[in-house]
Chains A and B, each alone.
Chain A
Amino acid sequence: MAGATAGLCALRSAVPGWGARSAAAASSPTLDDLTGGRISVGATITRDNAGVVKELLSPGTYEKIVRYGLELTVAPTTTDERRLVPEPWLEASEHHRGMAVLDEKGQLRTRDGRPWIGGFPFLEPRTGLEAAWNIASPSWIEYADDFSYGGGEHLIRKGEVYRSLKWIFTGISTVGRTRMPPAPFYPGHEDELYRLLIRYVEPFDYRGTSILTVRPYDQTRLERAYAYVPATRRVREVPTYQRWESASGNDIFRSDHNGNNDPLSHWSWSLVERRPMILPGVSDGYEIDPLPTIAGRFPRGRWELRPDAQVLEAVPKDPQCPYAKKILYVDSVMRKPLVFDFYDRTGRVWKTGVHHHARIRKDGETIISFNHPNHTMDLLADHVTYIWVDAPSVEKNAGRKLEDLWTEEAMLRAAY
């Protein structure tokens, strides 16, 4: 174990460049190196051997293993970035390299003062806020101008599923568009970052309910939200002030989605360190477990040693926030948080979330999409939200227009 710790310490100052990615990965220590040969690729980590790799896991992941029986098998490290991020997105990021700046308010602009024009804004983030801007838009996380998929969530209490919801989730970027016209901005909506729409399909008490979210580009402002509830037959603007609760009773607060769903100015961001970690990987094709297969709570999924994870810590500015902090573990190639831990006011890890991904070929190009059931666990309550995606329903860059889905009028049109 001492050898493993020494190996980790040696890596904690790495700031590898984009172009050096492959070389950096190739020269990175292996799992054998980091564990003194006690854990190798292909091994399964259980509560019996988790202590060996404790430093390579997030505290939340470690606790899931030792307290709740999560088991994870470590796959070989993926070194080709094109297998982790769609090539067009990599190209856009490279093309726009160096064009992103943060103004005095921490607002992302291009050097000529426009909203962001697409791709990762900060290929090599130097600050926490820069790293946070890389994940500020779900569309950027999806590597697409628009996306949609069907899926659902199981609510699991002490290993028993007691409620299941199904929904359709869609999003569209209004700025930073790279693939579909209009690009890079949606005319008239340059002051927005994106729009999201979720429409519930099941169970009966949620059925037909849809919520449209309009995220301002200005990261000091809360999103606007519009809800259609079948019983009321109308789209009503609803407050978005309540950040610390979930919409459906699950474990994901409004603030929590994708690790952060708040205006960036609501948190103080720090890029604490960069180090190798065992994180969820990107599997070849979908591997969907419709129900938990491990300990009644967790899915199977690809995990691998990621050589360079950004440890992004955020401290809330809202005194009402029940968290002391949250830590997002961001893969430096995918630039998205794959694991996130939320700490309560006493310093305990309260909740932890995991995002798995799949790589598929669709319509002639590679899509990276959410894959195995992602899950968020309330470690204190032994409660899991198990989110799955219906693989055939995934669409990205379909060329949808704003008025197709993401307006109040479109909500009414789709409603019944």
Chain B
Amino acid sequence: MDRGSDAAGGILNPRIPAIGDTRTAWLAWSIILVTIGSGAVSAADYPHLDATGFQRLQSAISLDGKNPNNRGVDDTAHTVNLFRSFGQLELIYDSSRTLRLYGKFRVMTEHASDLDGRLRNFDGCPAGFRGDGWSVRVSSDHACAEAWELYTDVSLGAAWVRIGKQQVVWGETLGRRVLDVVNPLDLNWHLFLEPFVEEFDNIRIPQWMLRVTSPLPNPWSAETDLEVIANPGDSISTQLPGLGSPYNLTPSFVAVHDEPARGHWTVGGRITENVLGASLSLIALSKPVDDAVLLSSGAVVDPKLGLPTPVASGQTVPLRFLSDGVHPRVFLAGGSANYFQQQLGGVFRLEATVAPDQPYQKAPGSGDPAPTHVKRRATWRYALAVDRPTVLFPGADATTILSFTFFETIVAGAPRGIRSNGARVDATAEQLTFALSQPLLRKLLFLELLANYDPDGAFWVQPGARAIVGDHWRFDLFANLLGGGENRPGRFGALGFADEVALRGAYGF
């Protein structure tokens, strides 16, 4: 969620079908299957094919009616934020105890603009960047189909190798991406506003990677593991809603050209360890930043979308500002510690990272209208959390989730010299998060609440209810309420237009 709130800026890209790239990706996948599959050894209960998935229909009704970022594109108040079908199929083929092939395929269709004629310029499935064929995705304005994940698992003795399009998730803190920083997020269809208990599973963008995990023998611990990941260049940036979307984050008077750092590698590793009952981890990662650093490349006169801008005494011109999104490399080091404290009944969590050279916009000089250069600053992020199930209602089950999290970002040096999405950066920024999930009716009904508070004056509250009916049906009713006076880009107050009530129904198998 914090990554989402960081994400302003935007993408105004032409769609690039890149069919050739798609074929290349499928070909690569086929080669992997054939190469590895030929060495498989079948056991008595292998091979085994399993399938699971769901078909979901969901809608979100706007409580605000108008997104100010769409000025000039959609100036009327709309009602429907989202009306989406989402089908997902997971195929798991276990060839032997040592070989698994896995694919997660999904098809989404978006019909909000069909239901609400006031959404005149809404591309419900925006995506597209140079080399996006590797995402194994095809889409139109209303539908997209993709192989969301596609990988092979191979056990080599005590080591385990995963090759393919995958998510890598580090850290344990609920909803906080302190260590969960390997994959970028796909915010283009519903930002980060899905039910919080699902975290980022459906929006964390899988990338083509090699991941190797192996025990690390040492004289001090019997459970030390080393994990190494390498992405040879399938670099993808945070994907944001397009202009005209009810969730658009980028003002229409800003045109962003954001190309992911395709071809730039990501490499990292993690050591995990259990010491005296505490789960510990250390990570290191080098990658291009997910969120674009926007550098001004000029302005054009645009009578429709331009912002009336004084250019001379008494004279204004509708200017549309042009920005290029760049993705400088960043190095991150961090770690986590999680410990169940029996007397207090809670798990205490600490996660922290430091980026010695986090890229920001360099604050423009007195004569410059907008940032044109990158400036780096050491940046620390950490989260302190406690999860403690608690009986809130006598006779009812304890909460399955009851957690408090304190999250802080600390930027070294004088903050006046840097900007983030054009806004000033504070030396420190904090957030407090409270999360609750209360089961009822033998864990068939859950009342849930996520409350994020930014002490600078912003909030995001997500109350909701989740019901399970029989063995196949699930229904969610939830709301997203965001606002507050702190409305700099990247803060919850900037998303005040996204208030909504949402309903989902799913058949799972």
On A, residues with C-beta under 8 Å from B are 155, 162-164, 187-189, 202-205, 207-208, 221-222, 224-226, 230-242, 244-246, 248-250, 320, 403, 407-409, 412-413, 416
Contacts and interface: CB of A to CB of B under 8 A. Distances in A.
A222 B197 contact: no
Given A202-B471, A249-B444, A233 B167 contact: yes
A238 B339 CA distance: 9
20 contacts: A188-B222, A202-B471, A204-B52, A204-B474, A204-B508, A205-B508, A224-B340, A231-B199, A231-B201, A233-B201, A233-B204, A234-B180, A237-B279, A240-B340, A241-B398, A242-B345, A320-B391, A408-B225, A413-B153, A416-B102
B172 interface: yes
Contacts of A239: 340, 345-347, 387-389
Contact of B509 (A204, A230, A245): A204
Contacts of A244: 398
A162 B222 contact: no
A290 to B, nearest CB: 15
B222 A230 contact: no
B338 interface: yes
Contacts of A413: 153, 155, 160, 213
Interface string B164-176: 0001011110100
A238 B100 CA distance: 28
Nearest to A236: B172
A224 B279 CA distance: 11
Contacts of A188: 221-223
A163 B471 contact: yes
B393 to A, nearest CB: 12
Residue among B170, B171, B174, B398 with the most chain A CB within 10 A? B398
Interface in B491-509: 508-509
Given A163-B470, A205-B474, A408-B272, A242 B443 contact: no
Contacts of B474: 204-205
A204 B443 contact: no
Residue among B172, B391, B442 with the most chain A CB within 10 A? B442
Given A237-B347, A403-B158, A408-B272, A416 B92 contact: yes
A189 B52 contact: no
Nearest to A162: B470
Q: Which 3 A-B pairs give the minimum distances between C-beta atoms? A: A204-B508, A188-B222, A241-B345
A203 B397 contact: no
Given A155-B442, A234-B169, A412 B346 contact: no
Nearest to B346: A239
Interface string B404-447: 00000000000000000000000000000000000101111000
A183 B428 CA distance: 54
A163 B442 CA distance: 11
Residue among A222, A232, A403, A407 with the most chain B CB within 10 A? A232
Contacts of A235: 172
Interface in B322-372: 338-340, 342, 345-347
Nearest to B221: A188
A403 B158 CA distance: 8
Contacts of A403: 158, 215
B215 A234 contact: no
A204 B388 contact: no
B483 to A, nearest CB: 27
A192 to B, nearest CB: 10
B398 A242 contact: yes
Interface in B190-224: 197-199, 201, 204, 213, 215, 221-223
B90 interface: yes
A403 B217 CA distance: 13
A239 B172 CA distance: 13
Contacts of A233: 167, 169, 199, 201, 204
Contacts of B279: 226, 237, 408
B342 A221 contact: yes
A250 B397 CA distance: 12
A412 B339 CA distance: 19
Contact of A207 (B52, B169, B444): B52
Given A234-B172, A407-B223, A204 B347 contact: no
Given A204-B472, A231-B199, A409-B225, A222 B342 contact: yes
Given A205-B508, A237-B279, A245-B397, A164 B471 contact: yes
Contacts of A416: 90, 92, 100, 102
A231 B199 CA distance: 7
Contact of B389 (A203, A205, A242, A408): A242
Given A163-B444, A225-B340, A409-B160, 15 more contacts: A188-B222, A204-B471, A205-B508, A236-B172, A237-B172, A237-B279, A237-B340, A239-B347, A241-B388, A249-B442, A250-B442, A407-B223, A408-B272, A409-B272, A413-B213
Interface string B372-403: 00000000000000011101000001100000
A262 to B, nearest CB: 12
Nearest to B54: A204
Contact of B201 (A155, A230, A250): A230
Interface string B441-455: 111100000000000
A245 B398 contact: yes
A232 B172 CA distance: 9
Interface in B102-133: 102
Contacts of A231: 197-199, 201
Interface string B461-504: 00000001011101000000000000000000000000000000
B39 interface: no
Nearest to B169: A233
Nearest to A235: B172
Nearest to A383: B442
Contacts of B339: 237
A155 B471 CA distance: 11
Interface in B284-326: none
A231 to B, nearest CB: 4
Interface string B50-79: 001010000000000000000000000000
A189 B222 CA distance: 8
Contacts of A203: 471-472, 508
Interface string B73-94: 0000000000000000010100
Nearest to B170: A234
Interface string B151-165: 001010010100000
A237 B338 contact: yes
A416 B150 CA distance: 11
A205 B466 CA distance: 11
Residue among A226, A246, A248, A412 with the most chain B CB within 10 A? A412
Nearest to A207: B52
A189 B472 CA distance: 41
B20 interface: no
B167 A241 contact: no
Nearest to B344: A241
B348 to A, nearest CB: 10
Contacts of B444: 163, 249
A124 B160 CA distance: 47
A163 B468 CA distance: 10
Contacts of A236: 172, 174, 338
B157 to A, nearest CB: 11
Residue among B221, B279, B441 with the most chain A CB within 10 A? B279
A241 B201 contact: no
Contacts of B388: 239, 241
Residue among A164, A222, A226, A239 with the most chain B CB within 10 A? A239
